[in-house]
Amino acid sequence: MNQIIVLSEGYSKYEQNEPPSADAPMLANCTCTLIKGPDCNVIVDTMTPWDGDLLLQRLQEHQLHPDDIDYVVSTHGHSDHLGNNNLFLRAKRHIVGPNISHRNRYYVHDFDAGK
């Protein structure tokens, strides 16, 4: 049976509590999720490049190493969603939005088609 495990809960908020100005910084990080299965492990959104140690720690808490991840899914290209994709170089595929890649091969995939 597959398990869905939230490795880190995401957030998005303005740094200031008052109404934000146009140049007010936003604090944000994605939710990082592990789908752990008997035959396949998937990580969805790998957080910012500064979260690598945290991500490795969370994987270890679930008896996993980056080499145990089969698929890396980044829901889109913001740095807080794909910042640690480089930790998973042995994954069969990296999926970023509608694009699938493995090494230097890239495919555009129509996920809306149901495949």
- The token duo for 88 is 């998973």
Q: pLDDT tier at 20 (50, 70, 90 boundaries)? A: low
| Pair 99, 74: CB distance under 8 Å | no
Q: What digits encode the pLDDT tens for the residues 102-114?
A: 888 888 888 888 7
pLDDT single digits (tens) 73-86:
999 999 999 999 99
Any idea where the domains of the chain sit in the sequence?
A: 52-80+90-96
User: Three-state secondary structure along 59-104?
Assistant: HHHCCCCHHHCCEEEECCCCHHHHCCHHHCCCCCEEEECCEEEECC
Asked if residue 45 lies in contact with residue 73, where contact means CB atoms within 8 angstroms, the answer is: yes
The pLDDT, as a whole number, for residue 89 is 97
pTM: 0.87
Q: Which one, of 28, 29, 27, lies nearest residue 6 by Cα?
A: 29
